[in-house]
Structure 1
Amino acid sequence: MSSLEQLYQQVILDHSRERHGAGAVPSGIGAASHQVNPTCGDQVTLGVSVADGRIADLVWDGDGCSISQASLSMLSDLVDGRSTDEVARLYADMDQMMHSRGRGVPEETLDGLGDAAALEGTSQFPNRIKCALLGWYALRDALAKLGTDIAGGARS
């Protein structure tokens, strides 16, 4: 295993343990979405609120593999305080990376995804792609309930 692969593996493990943004989803939050990955049983409930076109609050509660939990933690860090346009770009970049099947994506895409770039290797394993995207699908659904479509031309 290369030193970069080891670093990426450590980033994933750290996020899956620390779980940034995790907590009970309050009933009064703007919108919530519950998503389940039927192939492995990973699940998440994600709540989000938007104020002045920006993510004002995001909290999630979930169970699953280290990839799904790390991805949710990374998502929380990435979208906190961002405009919904920025979140749409991040969603598209994450979707592109996860559907690259290991063929790689532009360096600027990886740079924009921060720690989530550590999940790029996961794109080689079709059954793990859903794990990495579970939280992103929950975010997309919750924002849609608030009238914001971040999916644009992204795959679903």
Structure 2
Amino acid sequence: MDATFWALVALIIFVAVILYMKVPGMISKSLDARADRIRNELEEARKLREEAQQLLAEFQRKRKEAEKDAADIVEAAKHEAELLVSEAKTKTEEYVARRAALAEQKISQAERDAINEVRSSAVDLAVEAARTLLASKVDSKADADLFKASLQQVKSKLN
């Protein structure tokens, strides 16, 4: 009996002990359990992936809605700004027109006042000149009568 024989006998005993101890069943159960665990992990990973895709789609939809809302807000703000600018421009033009009209009225009134003042001064000077001229040429009684008549004529022309 040589060493090969004893190696064969030891191998057969080893295989018999392994079979008696049901090691292949234990290995099979262990492998089945590991396969089930891996299958469960894959299923969970698939579910998580689907949830992530759903969340991604929802967030993309919300982002698009938010971008649309932002664009609407920007458009509304631009429209409101344009309205405010046109309203301010209109109000400014109206203000300038009112101020110009008021200035024209003041200028016109100042012209009338100046003309009236010049007329009044001219009348006063004419009356004074007439009085002085008549005083040198006419006696005092005739002078007083002539002055009163001239004064009444000037007053009647002013009124």
Task: Bin the TM-score by the shorter chain.
Answer: under 0.3
Q: Indicate the structure whose relative CO is greater, using CA pairs within 8 Å and at least 6 residues apart.
A: 1
Larger Rg: 2
* Higher helix proportion: 2
Q: TM-score, normalised by structure 1?
A: 0.17
Q: TM-score, normalised by structure 2?
A: 0.16
